[in-house]
Amino acid sequence: MPSDLETCMETLIKVFHRYASKEGHSATLNRRELRLLMENELANFLKSQKDPAAVDKIMKDLDANCDGQVDFEEFVSLVVGLSIACEQCYQMHLKKTGATK
């Protein structure tokens, strides 16, 4: 039976490929696929963004090799960045509530 972390990694891979396989190359996300993924899978994050061009800016930031596509490695950097931000919020919450680990 897979561990929680192994299940999370499997889910991350499956989600990426579910959207990458919608159009064009099945190993990359184009701008439209990334937008769909973020609207469906990161809806709360997008709601907190005040900039309507947020997805376009994220696409530009993620596309490290400037090919107009986001591959899995580039996509993972988004997930890592958001996870770090969420963990920092979690730590602040712990400090405010006086909770311990």
Q: Please tell me the distance from the alpha carbon of residue 37 to that of residue 62, in angstroms, as a whole number.
A: 14
State the DSSP H helix or E strand holding residue 87, giving kind and residue range, or none if neither. Answer: helix 72-97
Residue-wise pLDDT for 27-44, tens only, equals 999 999 999 999 999 888
Q: pTM for this one?
A: 0.81
Average pLDDT, the chain: 88
Residue 43, SS3? helix
Domain assignment of residue 9, given as a range: 4-97
pLDDT tens, residue by residue, 7-31: 999 999 999 999 998 887 889 999 9
Distance set, CA 51 to CA 36, 67, 68, 70 (Å): 17, 24, 21, 21
Give the CATH number of the domain where residue 39 resides.
1.10.238.10
pLDDT interval class at 99 (50, 70, 90): low
- When divided into structural domains, the chain yields a total of 1
Distance of CA 11 to the CA centre of its chain: 12
